[in-house]
Structure 1
Amino acid sequence: TPRWAARIGADAYAEDAQDGVVKVKELLVQS
């Protein structure tokens, strides 16, 4: 995999992971 593609993929994964954590925290607060 080209290094630039791996970096873009890692950045996108990190952003998705952060969004997932925020959603989980919101669900925990609501429950």
Structure 2
Amino acid sequence: MGKKIYLLIMVGGVVIGETSEIGDNENYIFIWLL
């Protein structure tokens, strides 16, 4: 399960980073809140 969460963070961070101007740190916080 750890690997799955890690992949979600990586993919989610890339997707959010590509679709918005939010900083990387905020991306990771947003993903963790999900």
- Equivalent pairs, count: 21
Asked which structure has the greater CA Rg, the reply is 1
Unpaired segments ≥5 residues, structure 1: 26-31
Normalised to the residue count of structure 2, the TM-score between the two structures is 0.51
More helix by share: 1
Q: Among the aligned pairs, what percent are the same residue?
A: 0
Report the RMSD for the aligned CA atoms in angstroms: 1.2
Normalised to the residue count of structure 1, the TM-score between the two structures is 0.55
Unpaired segments ≥5 residues, structure 2: 22-34
Show structure 1 runs of 4+ deviating over 3 A.
none
